[in-house]
Structure 1
Amino acid sequence: MGIDEQGREVLSFVPGEVPREPLPPEATGEDVLVALARLIRRLHDAAQGWTPPQGAVWATLPGTEAIPLVDTDAELVSHRDYCPGNVVFRDGLPAALIDFDLARPTTRIYDIANALYWWAPLLHPTDRTPALVDADIPHRAAVFADAYQMTEQQRHDLMPLAERMVHRFHLTSRAAAEADPAFRRFWNQGVKDRMPRAEAWLAQEGPAIAARLTGTTPDRNP
């Protein structure tokens, strides 16, 4: 909301509960996916048509400035970081979003892919919360897509974009770890192993997710 006379950021407060990771079982239900999808759709519809100020500067993770974005055909300005710590729950369901530090011009399907990465999730079973180790990820992605009311084209484009996004996550996580001690700690605590597993898992399972989203037969990579 601004800067005070002592140079401190002034923030608003959003009441509610923020789930810790690993997600507890009560934060992994399909009702959570539906509520989050509808919340993001409301954000997108509200942001559509808003033009950022000329010369606006967008934040990046340390050391990642030279890594190309994968969401360059911007449709709107949106959140782009739906990790559990940025989703506020009320009465057991997502009700608000916080921490817009990575917001920038993006696309709807990038934002959707980002949300699914965290909440489907698009992760190898080894790296999921226990409640979702055996989850039907194609089904969960379809539940989210239906609640958001994704178009046929968005469903077709989603998984190729998600694969590029996760690859970039790997690159930016490594670059940030090399540039900043805080990100180096995250990297060493497991990100360095989680990201290559996520890439390999998505390359294998992405066709099945895409098929569920589009109602087609999976075209698996050899």
Structure 2
Amino acid sequence: MVHVHVVFPAAGVGKRFGSAEPKQYATIHDRTVMEWTLDALAAVDGLSKTIIALQPDDFKGREIASRAGVTDVCVGGNERADSVLNALTLLAVTESADDWVLVHDIARPCVRATDVQALIQECEQLGQGGVLARPITDTVKQVSSVPGQCKTLDRSELWTVQTPQCFRLGELLTAMRYCAANNIPVTDESSAIEAMGGAVHLVKGSADNIKLTHAEDASLVAHYLAQQERIK
């Protein structure tokens, strides 16, 4: 039987957030961002194991993960890709290479269970991996090294990528190892798949699946959580 697992890279320090504490521990309505995010994925039917990658001395994260019923905790790395690779390596010890893995940002607490289920369904139907994404609606400029020179890109071909990103465990682990061995920058899991020549399908997600990056984003996250009726 093919299972669907979830990996949360959560070892980052969130330098752009401007806080002494990692952004996943920012509090929104008496709960941490990490708790909101774990709850969001817990609402998705049919998921199997969950693994979260944390800093070795992150006792707060371990306590939250334990309360939330996270299956395993692994040691995170200096970069997101390192954390994902560590989690996938641990998962592959006991799980099938044909299983699906969702990799989700711990700082995206507003993801909708319906979007995640739509992503899983499309990947299973196509037999290939995919990511949640949104078509760009703003005009996009490409700048050059020459001051005052830029050009407008065709936005009909441009999408912004969200998470979760969903791929076969074996395929993603191979791609992440390949990129690590060849010093290929990996900004997200789909870029690792692309580096190996793999297919990546875009599945339209919701506009409120935003990533908490700066401190001022917290009020918008709270607004979306309230709109989703998750804040009681």
The interval holding the TM-score normalised by the smaller chain is: under 0.3
Greater fraction strand: 2
TM-score, normalised via structure 2 length: 0.24
TM-score, normalised via structure 1 length: 0.24
